[in-house]
């Protein structure tokens, strides 16, 4: 009996000496503060490493990159990879598939692709084109809905069931070692426009802020989601920091500051200088609040300007005053609706030149964002890896510099 008791005491002592992960303590050590005080270690490391990386580099992303492309579907492929022999570093996805009441097999397919991207070292981000919860019509149906899905509204419980679906996906999204896979969640994007039901003309500032806070609180407190970083991304409709933050839900509810901007690249838009000014605003807000800045959505449909990559996009992001962790272009659906080059596309050569820029990173260039703390030594190694890649690739593309 004495031996058993001594053994029990020894186990207790040894167990108490084993370091236990404490997210708050870990965040404090790294001098960061995430929305989620209980965020997983991998999620905290992703935040910290993206923040550090943004001081020097920019990850290139593509929405639905490995799900389908121009002329193919479900082939475990990538249009970007067909051009530059690498997957993009960041993958955009949509929770709309998971909040529909159906058994669409695309759900398990996307889950696999998200896992694959993570296992290769990529970053996953989800937006949410949520159908109007009042009418069940598409998200472009601007029937008033926000006020009706808030607590006390007639569709509040229906909204929570949609969040349950997202939480279920997040809480069951694990890698081969059983660890939760981090996700950047970007709800209610382009909220300063008026094309979605959550847009500026269809809810008050107070209603939008309450919707955002209700969503985040439900996911992190009620459903125990610990692997989300939350991204705030209005469209281009701001010229000052005050306008950018007009519907800001607060520091306790946002990890990443973004901007979606397609229009300013067009002839009727405000042009490259204003795109750069807006990116500076996002950069400065993120810096003040110790968060991350990103160019969360952009692109030129059809890439009809074959030098768009270096003459437009690179010119606004390759600037010392712009510190963004990533830039993401929209999806490749077909020959008319695409935003990344595919094999044989006339802009392919210019895209190769774009990714040769020292700042731009594809998946094959990324350091491990989930295992350890990124320092200058590791960032310098990224430069070395990219230099070797350029040497290997340049023979395949006779580009004139």
State pLDDT tens for residues 35-53.
Answer: 999 999 999 999 999 999 9
Question: What residues does each domain of the chain span?
Answer: 23-394
pLDDT digits 0-9 by tens, 279-308: 999 999 999 999 999 999 999 999 999 999
- What is the model's pLDDT at position 395? 60
- Two tokens at 206? 């107070």
- For residue 242, give Cα distances in angstroms to 209, 218, 238, 258: 15, 28, 8, 15
- What is the model's pLDDT at position 380? 86
- What is the model's pLDDT at position 387? 85
Q: What pTM does this model have?
A: 0.93
Helix (H, G, I), strand (E, B) or coil at 183: strand
Q: Locate tokens 């950047």: which residue?
A: 184
Q: How far apart are CA 364 and CA 376, in angstroms?
A: 18
- What is the model's pLDDT at position 394? 67
CATH class of 23-394: alpha beta
With vertex at residue 110, the alpha carbon angle to CA 366 and CA 385, rounded to the nearest 5 degrees, is 10
| Residues with active-site annotation | 190, 297
With vertex at residue 108, the alpha carbon angle to CA 74 and CA 105, rounded to the nearest 5 degrees, is 70
- What is the model's pLDDT at position 15? 40
- Two tokens at 230? 């939350």
Residues of the chain with pLDDT under 50: 1, 4-18, 399, 401
- What is the model's pLDDT at position 17? 46
């Amino acid at each position: 009996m004495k031996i058993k008791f001594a053994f029990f005491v020894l186990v207790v002592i040894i167990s108490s000496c084993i370091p236990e992960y404490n997210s708050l303590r870990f965040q404090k050590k790294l001098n960061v503060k995430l929305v989620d005080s209980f965020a997983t270690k991998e999620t905290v490391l992703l935040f910290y490493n993206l923040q550090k990386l943004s001081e020097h580099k920019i990850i290139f992303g593509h929405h639905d990159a490995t799900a389908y492309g121009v002329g193919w579907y479900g082939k475990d492929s990538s249009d970007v990879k067909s051009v530059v022999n690498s997957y993009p570093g960041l993958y955009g996805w949509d929770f709309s598939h998971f909040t529909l009441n159906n058994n669409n097999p695309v759900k398990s397919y996307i889950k696999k692709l998200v896992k694959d991207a993570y296992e290769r070292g990529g970053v996953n981000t989800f937006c949410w084109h949520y159908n109007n919860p009042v009418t069940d019509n598409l998200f472009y149906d601007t029937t008033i809905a926000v006020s009706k899905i808030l607590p006390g509204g007639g569709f509040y419980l229906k909204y929570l069931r949609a969040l349950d679906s997202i939480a279920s996906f997040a809480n069951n999204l694990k890698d081969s070692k059983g660890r939760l896979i981090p996700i950047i969640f970007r709800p209610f994007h382009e909220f300063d426009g008026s094309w979605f039901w959550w847009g500026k003309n269809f809810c008050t500032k107070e209603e939008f802020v309450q919707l955002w806070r209700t969503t985040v609180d439900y996911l992190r407190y009620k459903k125990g989601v610990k692997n989300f970083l939350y991204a705030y991304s209005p469209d281009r409709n701001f010229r000052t920091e005050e306008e950018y933050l007009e519907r800001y839900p607060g520091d306790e509810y946002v990890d990443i500051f973004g901007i979606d901007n397609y229009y300013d690249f067009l002839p009727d838009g405000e042009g490259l200088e204003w795109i750069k000014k807006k990116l500076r605003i996002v950069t400065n807000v993120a810096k003040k609040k110790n968060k991350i800045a990103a160019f969360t959505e952009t692109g030129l449909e059809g890439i009809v300007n074959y030098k768009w990559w270096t003459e437009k996009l690179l010119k606004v992001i390759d600037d010392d005053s712009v510190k963004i962790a990533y830039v993401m272009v929209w999806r490749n659906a077909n020959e008319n609706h695409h935003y990344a080059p595919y094999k044989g596309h006339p802009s392919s050569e210019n895209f190769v030149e774009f990714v040769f820029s020292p700042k731009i990173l594809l998946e094959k260039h990324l350091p491990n964002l989930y295992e350890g703390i990124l320092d200058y030594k590791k960032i310098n190694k990224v430069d070395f890896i990219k230099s070797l890649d350029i040497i290997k690739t340049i023979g395949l593309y006779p580009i004139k510099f």
